[in-house]
Structure 1
């Protein structure tokens, strides 16, 4: 059992950025992100015995992490405050001097206005997954994945413009 645990921890450590990204996509608050991160790791550990190695560990991890985030988001009723961001924050002027991290923070803030499935689509897109891989991860057809992704990208662009986050 110790060997299995060591292998699992090594794989988690190698791919922990995936879990961090999913946590940031689904939760705005840092404490909630940590809670979701822990929940994902716990679900990965529970599901690890079912990992047969038919796909890359990271692909399997995406699926478990996204499914966990979707369930966690719904189960705990952790709904985002639907108050538009521009009522809470002055228009943000993103200029060329701002760091990549700040721009990424604006993107994550805008993503918070998407629903759970749209967040998954954007996450997988940002991970350079093909339409086929996105479809497989979400359990939908490739055509459906392409259509939903295009609509979600348009919606995200609208949110970014609406909130003055344009890069």
Structure 2
């Protein structure tokens, strides 16, 4: 594939699927700057992976796989991107959702960001409506393992929401 063809495919993929990269960056990046860096890293990896795409799955599935693998590698290699960092420049939140944000959506994204890497990835894929089979292909887990983990995630989130409602938070 020529560089011009790769650029054309990349532009099409990015136009159609950049929301995937935004979601992954939002969950794996601790600060606005982290999310911008991670978005660029994932986009670069998508560009590099175009030649490896064989069409045996949906483009969105492929992009999710590349984005999640990139985010996991980025998270491991950047120790400074640990949990608990504060975003001191929230006013420039380019990667945030539009102004009319649903507090329930903010709550779920905050809880997803607290999960371990695999469960974080599963939660994102679940929210985007991927089947257990697709999730297993993306993450390299068995379908039954995906189902068990999803059920545990749902139960934990439900319990946490109940505790917060009981405590009046």
TM range (shorter): 0.7 to 0.9
Residue 100 of structure 1 deviates from its aligned partner by: 4.8
- Structure 1 counterpart of 2:46: 44
- Structure 2 counterpart of 1:115: 116
Of 3, 6, 13, 1:4 maps to: 6
Give the alignment's TM-score, normalised by structure 1. 0.81
SS in structure 2 of the partner of residue 15 of structure 1: helix
SS in structure 2 of the partner of residue 54 of structure 1: coil
Please give the root-mean-square deviation of Cα atoms over the aligned residues, in Å: 2.3
Distance 1:28 1:160, change over 3 A: farther
Distance 1:120 1:11, change over 3 A: same
- Structure 2 counterpart of 1:58: 60
Query: What are the Cα deviations for residues 56-96 of structure 1, in whole angstroms up to 9, with x where unaligned?
Result: 211110111111111111121222129xxxxxxxxxxxxxx
Is contact 1:73-1:116 (8 Å) kept?
Answer: no
Q: Say yes or no: does 1:136 pair with 2:137.
A: yes
Give the alignment's TM-score, normalised by structure 2. 0.80
Distance 1:160 1:79, change over 3 A: farther
Is contact 1:44-1:65 (8 Å) kept?
Answer: yes
Point out 4+ residue stretches in structure 1 off by more than 4 angstroms: 161-166
Is contact 1:19-1:40 (8 Å) kept?
Answer: yes
Of 84, 87, 107, 1:81 maps to: 84
SS in structure 1 of the partner of residue 102 of structure 2: helix
SS in structure 2 of the partner of residue 70 of structure 1: helix
Aligned pair count reads: 151
Is contact 1:110-1:159 (8 Å) kept?
Answer: no
Q: Which sections of structure 2, spanning at least 5 residues, go unmatched? A: 86-99
Query: What are the Cα deviations for residues 91-142 of structure 1, in whole angstroms up to 9, with x where unaligned?
Result: xxxxxxxx55332122211222111111001001001111111111110111
